[in-house]
A and B are shown apart, each in its own frame.
Chain A
Amino acid sequence: MSFKFFGGVHPNDMKAPANKAAVTVMTPPQQVVIPMSLHIGAPCTPTVAVGDEVKLGQKIGDAASPVSAPIHASVSGKVIAIEPRLHSNGTMVNSVVIENDGLYTPCETMVPATEEQLNDPDAIAKLIREAGIVGMGGATFPTAFKITSGKGKIDTVIINGAECEPYITSDHRTMLEHPEAVLGGISLIMKACGVPKATFAIEENKADAIALLREKNKPDSGIEILQLPCRYPQGAEKQLIQTVTGREVPPGGLPAAVGCAVFNTFTAYSVYRAAYEGRPAIERVVTVTGSAIAEPKNLLVPVGTPVSYVIEQAGGFKKPAKKVLMGGPMMGNALYDLSVSVTKGTNALTCFAEDEDKTVEDPQCIRCGKCATVCPMRLEPALLYVFERKTDYEGMDKFHIMDCIECGACTYNCPARLHLTHSCRTGKAKMQAKMAADKARAEAEKAKAEAAKEEKK
């Protein structure tokens, strides 16, 4: 039984040929650059120093905040620098640079969990945190925090296998090649959350994976494999919750507000490996694809590998690349420097040789409303566009600009080729700046009033 989310678009999924390419274990590079911010939340502080010898899987960064995840070495070797380096998000982030010694000496901490640990929900959550596991779908929200903060509020665990974004096949390949491990990881997450049932939601273009998982799934596992029709952005958290449960996450709320927690397929796989192999989140499957790539494939990439190196492993560019995206074409981040590192959330590198944007000069809104019909949040991007251009705070607020999930469906569907999603992003930033300014002003006035009162006394 599944419900339907609002709107949505049907872009050509472009999963072939990468969906047929088995995951290849990549030869790690000579040097990895591991940013100390690979998750949403507080950045980590390096726990190693320049000159230290580190082992594979050794913790090299940690933070005290619960909304964070430790970071581990993805190769063994020598720390040659700790300095700010360019991050894929465009900012300079403190990073640990490790010279690969080619030995991959495993760290002593990489041991499978004991039977006792695997039966204790709190121990599983702790193990997930220590392994540095975050939302591997790209959001990189710390998984352990999702579990502990939602405890008692959650009645439904949803595993996101929608992979609705075109081109990306990393989750698909993981399901096909490690079905038992993915299912095992789901069982552990269910145990940690204290929920007996989970729904594994997969879009129908991965029919082979659905069949295989149904075959491997034990009848008493409590896991339901749910086949969904293809529609973007089905894998967006709020939309997936709506599709699976019919519930709508309230504005500004977290999934726990409606009793749900959503975990990505690769997150479940990473949990399994952390528990049964002791392997922390130091590598991930990256789909390297797009019209510019010579041999589209799926690679198991150590975190911290430069993007340029990963692309070389897929045969490099067969045509000059116009655009290199970290992620898929709908929500991916366009890179301008290919020396940036693969992070925990990098599910794909999509490289375009053509101008897939079909950009037009001076686009003019014709008010067709095709943006509003596809918006999964039921917003009216064309009107938000007008308000954002005028910086009309009242209008942006009335039409709920802060609800925008930036999925890109409106922009995709705009016949006039307006940059609607970008406009919403800018509008949200303007609103946030204004809210912060209003708050600061109110506080300053309050302080002033209090000071005046004091003086009177």
Chain B
Amino acid sequence: MNEMPKLTVSSSPHIRAAHTTQSIMRDVIIALVPAMAVAVAMFGVSALAVIAVSVVSCVFFEWGYRKLMHKSSSVHDLSAVVTGVLMACCLPAGVPLWLPVVGAFFAIVVVKQLYGGIGKNFLNPALAARAFLFSWPVIMTTWVEPNFVYGADVVTTATPMSFLHNGQLPEGISIMGTFLGTIGGSLGEISAAALILGGIYLVARKVITLRIPLSYILTVAVLTFIFPRGNDNLQWMLYNLFSGGLMLGAIFMATDYTTSPINPNGQIVYGIGCGLLTVFIRYFGSYVEGVSYAILIMNVCVWMIDMNFLPRRFGVSKEDEKKKKEAAAK
């Protein structure tokens, strides 16, 4: 070995686990497939068109902005695809196709890239875009009747949320219907079953933990059970859980890495916060649904949560910490 080989020198460790940002995003897309499938089955081609336009325009803006600003391309990380699918999921099926394009611009360019791209945005891009698109309130609340055979009929229909907002149990819509998704609503939100299936996949693949979804859903469940409108606590609670954007929000939106806390304690605090705000807005707000605003409000609290709910320090017991605090107070 006379000739010295050229060796790479770097700081340890020197091996890496197999998962990547791309593989995680791919898993999220796979987890959303059941919800998309239900949407297409229920609303037909129009749902497919909304999803396709939303994804393509998100990817286009992601690519275009980075190109224009002479930044490294980030299309391959698939995060723009996830944003596209999620944004489509919270739009009504029959929207004009320019709407997802405008939404994609707002989500990708304004909310995400202007703050530095992946990992730097402080609001969930899909939800922020949805909130922005409420600049067209009529379009955003024109729900179409699901129709197996033909696809969507452009007939405005009532969603379970409109009944709940009036303090009534939905008429003519069964709990099973809200669970399976044979109801009107945003195209990706209608089937709680499909979303839960996706959630199980994400947990099994260790993409998310149960902390945020469970603390969120349980908070809503407990509050709606204790404070029902009408006499039937259980029915009221179940309609609240399976209707609207709760499942999509709790499983896919609130668990967005970038806009949720890093530490485990903080994640539970964040989930409970989302739950409290959701119920608060549903009960007292003028708009029928509270999930997206609840999550957006909690998004801006993430840094504060991260800074204040530190895990217990290794080697320091709770008693030690208490003593230290008392000593500091003196």
A215 located at the interface, meaning its Cβ lies under 8 Å from any Cβ of chain B in the complex? no
Chain A interface helix/strand/loop/mixed: loop
The answer to whether B9 and A334 touch across the interface, beta carbons within 8 angstroms, is yes
- Chain B contact residues, majority secondary structure: loop
Q: Is A251 engaged at the interface, CB distance under 8 Å to the other chain?
A: yes
Residue ID in chain B nearest A417 by CB atoms: B16
B20 engages A415 (CB within 8 Å): yes
The reply on A329 being an interface residue by CB < 8 A is yes
- For B15, what are the chain A residues with a Cβ–Cβ distance below 8 Å? 11, 166, 329-330, 356-357, 412
Q: Which of A30-38, A101-109, A143-151, A366-374 contacts B (4 or more CB under 8 A)?
A: A366-374
- In the assembled complex, A9 has its CB within 8 A of some CB on chain B: yes
The reply on B297 being an interface residue by CB < 8 A is no
Stretch with Cβ within 8 A of B (4 or more), from A46-54, A72-80, A174-182, A315-323: A315-323
Considering the complex, which residues of chain A in the window 384-420 have a beta carbon less than 8 Å from any beta carbon of chain B? 398-400, 403, 406, 408, 411-417, 419
CB of B131 closer than 8 Å to a CB of A: no
Q: CB-CB < 8 A to A419: which residues of B?
A: 11
Interface residues on A, range: 35 or more
Q: Is the CB of A369 within 8 A of B257?
A: yes
Q: How many angstroms from the CA of A336 to the CA of B9 in the assembled complex?
A: 6
Interface 9-mer from A92-100, A205-213, A375-383, A440-448: A375-383
The answer for the CA separation of A420 and B317 in the assembled complex, in Å, is: 26
Q: Which residue of B lies closest to A352 (CB)?
A: B14
Q: How far is the CA of A41 from the CA of B314 in the complex (A)?
A: 26
B119 and A403 form a contact (CB under 8 A): no
Across-interface contacts of B21 in A (CB, < 8 A): 364, 366, 415-416
- Chain A residues within an 8 Å CB radius of B307: 398
Interface size bracket, B side? 35 or more
B23, B258, B313 interface centre (most CB from chain A within 10 Å): B313
Contact residues in A for B12 (Cβ distance below 8 Å): 325, 327, 329-334, 406, 408, 421
**Does residue B230 face the partner (Cβ distance < 8 Å to A)?**
no
A372 near B264 (CB under 8 angstroms)?
Answer: yes
Q: CA–CA, A369 to B24, complex, Å?
A: 13
| A454 beta carbon closer than 8 Å to chain B | no
Cβ-neighbour of B316 out of A250, A356, A357 (below 8 A): A250
By the criterion CB–CB under 8 Å, are A324 and B7 in contact? Answer: yes
Which residues from chain B contact A362 at a C-beta distance below 8 Å?
Answer: 72
Can you report 11 residue pairs joining A to B where beta carbons are below 8 Å apart? A11-B17, A166-B15, A238-B314, A250-B316, A320-B5, A322-B7, A329-B14, A331-B13, A334-B8, A356-B14, A373-B264
Top 8 A-B pairs ranked by shortest CB distance? A408-B13, A422-B11, A250-B315, A369-B262, A248-B315, A368-B257, A329-B15, A329-B14
